[in-house]
Amino acid sequence: MKSFLISDNKDTWVGMKLAGVDGVIVHTRDETLAAIKAALQNKDIGILIITEVAMENAKAEVMRMKLERKSPLIVEIPDRHAGPDFQVKITNYIEESIGIKL
């Protein structure tokens, strides 16, 4: 199983690419929906990662997919351009993932 990123900015895309995760950069709602549709058709993708800003482009559709589909796992990640509470969100994600308060 592979992971795939749908990002609204190049920085996140490059970082994930360096970690071995393929992805695309989107700017509009239509681009976001097209990228999601293409990713869902690829049976090798087990985790679909979407940045917060890209998620806002198609939130209703993505939330519906999360409820209706078993695969792939759809994960929303914070983006460094998403706002001033970026550090808090990242810390919370890490704490929830490992089960230890940092």
Which CATH superfamily hosts domain 2-98?
ATPase, V1 complex, subunit F (3.40.50.10580)
β 45-51/73-77 pair status: parallel
Q: What is the pLDDT of residue 91?
A: 74
Structure confidence by residue, pLDDT tens digits, 44-80? 999 999 998 888 888 888 888 888 887 888 888 876 6
Q: Which amino acid is present at 72? A: P
Residue 9 has pLDDT above 90, yes or no: no
Whether residue 82 has pLDDT greater than 60: no
Domain residue ranges of the chain, discontinuous segments joined by +:
2-98
- CB burial of 34-69 (b: ≥16 within 10 Å; e: otherwise) equals ebbeebbeeeebeebbbbbbbbebbeeebeebeeee
Q: pLDDT value at position 67?
A: 83
Dist. CA 84–CA 93, nearest whole Å: 16
Map residue 36 onto helix, strand or coil.
helix
